[in-house]
Copies of this chain bind each other. A is one copy, B any other.
């Protein structure tokens, strides 16, 4: 790109075509068809039930974007597409579009972006409305994407003595964080807290993981429900970013009260640097929250430190959950 060029502008304005193409490709299982041996547009079309000219334009654009390689009219998957976009792969992630580009999310993102910027957050509760069904999509379709994050978080606690006996998973969603901790500590009992409609997904995942009676649920809002306890670990994964700093203190105070004296708070968040513009994913996540919540954001360490101190916690440790873009924040009661 030359020094002065409209390309960046043009590509950003056309961003919705990227969303569109990946949605179409995953829904039609184009990547799976190619992995199964359909090599050209005619064969992929036959296998997916789509018109050859539709597949041609789609597969060429997927090649331009870097999802496919094309040689002499034949397409093949890149190594990343083979791992994450072939539906038969254990690491298949294609269905994240069913949450990240769900009709409700697209509506919030695109209908009036100047409106939510002007307003400093979504007009209305958006995705923070009680029992918003978008969280069922989240629990169902984002689980495979979050699994490596949950495993990395649990791995940070490996060897903890004494082994935690009771674990609370606040805003559990798919339940994968609690489930990863239950696997790490085979004697532990996990209580997953979320809307009842969402807990149905967590229960399925816990059953599939064979947790049996070690998995309990508590339904409702983390702001309202009595948490019980004492717990040895309270997990709060991807919860705080939906609210402003002052609002976050309330659930943290409740969590602290539900912790054993030697218990431990384990928060998972997108944590941008203090410059708020790096790394890219945690930094852009503040805009995602601006579009979909009245007051949420991606908190840098200074803000997380302040809210934890206000809730009676010690200064936390920040542990990057590599290779994911998220960070584990561990803190003990002061």
A contact set with B: CB distance below 8 Å:
2-6, 8-24, 27-28, 48-58, 60-61, 63-67, 70, 79-80, 83-85, 93-94, 96-97, 100-101, 106, 109-110, 113-114, 116-121, 145, 272, 275-278, 280-281, 283-284, 286-291, 295, 297, 323
Tell me the dominant secondary structure on chain A's binding face. Answer: helix
Q: Are B114 and A13 in contact (CB under 8 A)?
A: no
Residues on B with C-beta less than 8 A from A54 are 116-121, 290
Q: Are A93 and B6 in contact (CB under 8 A)?
A: yes
Indicate which residue in B4, B8, B114 contacts A28 across the interface (CB closer than 8 Å): B114
Specify how many copies of this chain sit in the oligomer.
2
> Bound state CA distance, A298 and B204, in angstroms?
47
> Bound state CA distance, A235 and B287, in angstroms?
44
Indicate which residue in B17, B61, B84, B295 contacts A283 across the interface (CB closer than 8 Å): B61
Q: Are A24 and B280 in contact (CB under 8 A)?
A: no
A314 CB, min distance to chain B CBs, angstroms:
28
Residues on B with C-beta less than 8 A from A119 are 51, 54
A240 CB, min distance to chain B CBs, angstroms:
16
Residues on B with C-beta less than 8 A from A16 are 15-16, 19, 101, 106, 109-110
Indicate which residue in B2, B66, B100, B287 contacts A323 across the interface (CB closer than 8 Å): B2
A122 CB, min distance to chain B CBs, angstroms:
10
Indicate which residue in B8, B9, B18, B24 contacts A96 across the interface (CB closer than 8 Å): B9
Q: Are B120 and A53 in contact (CB under 8 A)?
A: yes
In this complex, which of A24, A51, A70, A121 has the most chain B Cβ atoms within 10 angstroms of its Cβ?
A: A24
8 nearest A-B pairs in the assembled complex, by CB-CB distance: A51-B120, A15-B18, A24-B113, A15-B15, A54-B117, A27-B114, A61-B287, A15-B19
Q: Are A297 and B53 also in contact (CB < 8 A) when A13-B19, A64-B283 are?
A: yes
> Bound state CA distance, A52 and B51, in angstroms?
49
Residues on B with C-beta less than 8 A from A287 are 17, 20-21, 57-58, 60-61
Q: Are B286 and A57 in contact (CB under 8 A)?
A: yes
Q: Are A9 and B27 also in contact (CB < 8 A) when A70-B275, A323-B2 are?
A: no
- What are 23 residue pairs bridging A and B, where the CB atoms are less than 8 Å apart in the complex? A3-B79, A5-B323, A6-B145, A8-B66, A8-B67, A12-B19, A13-B19, A13-B101, A15-B17, A16-B109, A17-B284, A17-B287, A17-B288, A19-B110, A23-B113, A49-B118, A51-B118, A53-B121, A57-B289, A58-B287, A60-B284, A63-B283, A106-B106
A116 CB, min distance to chain B CBs, angstroms:
7
Residues on B with C-beta less than 8 A from A288 are 14, 17
> Bound state CA distance, A301 and B275, in angstroms?
49
Q: Are B65 and A12 in contact (CB under 8 A)?
A: yes
